[in-house]
Amino acid sequence: MDGQALSGVRTGPFVAGERATFTDAKGRHHSVRLTPGSMFHTTKGGLAHDDVIGQPEGCVVRSVGGASYLVFRQLLEEFTVTMPRGAAVVYPKDAAHILVQTDIFPGARVLEAGAGSGALTMFLLRAVGPTGRVYSYERRDDFAKIAQRNVETFFGAPHPAWTLRVGDLVETIGDEPIDRAVLDMLAPWECIDAVGARLVPGGMLCCYVATTTQLGRTIETLRAHGGFTEPVGREYSARDWHAEGLAIRPGHSTSGHTGFLIFTRRLADGVVAPARKRRPAPGAYGPDYSGPRPVGVDPTETAE
């Protein structure tokens, strides 16, 4: 694969066979694969693909009925939210924080589980570049096939830095050391030991979960493991704003809760993290609590 294919970014005039995004006056997007002799049909008449092929990005083309459309290549962010999917995707607002806060770097060796529909996989592949590796695990074969098709569609061919493995992570995990790990699964706490054994000292782990119950169970498992820094749980939302003259207000497009992100870092082998200075709330680990307990927590503790 050449450099453009590895990044999924293409430059220069539009060519036949690639995808273009047509945007109308109301901001609606339409993704079209350019085919010589074909037409993109709209309520304002057809628009010839031949009018786009050979033109630069950012051009304006008009339909037979006179409607104007801006034409750009599809961004990765746009592709991931419109592509075919089996499992739910990691949305761009969360993928952005995962990439930055786990410090995904060129050449990194990254473990991802599960692959889902391949959205986060594509962001990871672009970040690690041609010298890195992404090892994706997916329990369901049908989801794995969807992820593979989506990744190959975006990059135009199988990506040389990607290894996709089908099966339970604990049962099929490879022996290769990893620098970063992202667990997007129903029960990430079941995989902490296996991932921790392969994560290099200083390596980053991110767990992506949907509910508060999963959030609590994962964080407590990481604390009880003893080989990670104090985990941090976060949630992110994104809100558009409308600004037109004196009419400045929140927009109608708001992306609220999609999931919780948990970040932590691997300690060196045999090292025990210093005890937390902030004590748990009274009763937090009382007799009704049945989950894992951090080292040093009194199991008989009750609320005052």
Indicate the annotated binding residues for S-adenosyl-L-methionine.
Answer: 117-120, 138, 168, 184
User: CA–CA separation, 226 vs 264, rounded Å?
Assistant: 12
Sheet of 109-113: strands edge to edge?
Answer: 162-166, 133-138, 109-113, 178-184, 199-209, 260-265, 232-235
The annotation places the binding site at 117-120, 138, 168, 184
270 three-state secondary structure: coil
8 A C-beta contact, residue 104 and residue 180: yes
Q: Strands 19-23, 29-33: parallel, antiparallel or unpaired by DSSP?
A: antiparallel
285 three-state secondary structure: coil
Q: Look-up: residue for tokens 């508060």?
A: 212
Give the residues across from 204 on adjacent strands: 180, 265
Q: Which amino acid does the sequence have at 143?
A: F
123 three-state secondary structure: helix
Q: Which helix (H) or strand (E) holds 29?
A: strand 29-33
List % helix, strand, coil for the chain (3-state, nearest 5). Answer: 25, 30, 45
DSSP single-letter state for residue 46 = E
245 three-state secondary structure: coil
| Secondary structure (DSSP) of 155-174 | HSS--TTEEEEES-HHHH--
Q: Alpha helices, DSSP H only, in the chain?
A: 3-7, 76-82, 92-101, 119-128, 141-155, 169-172, 192-198, 212-225
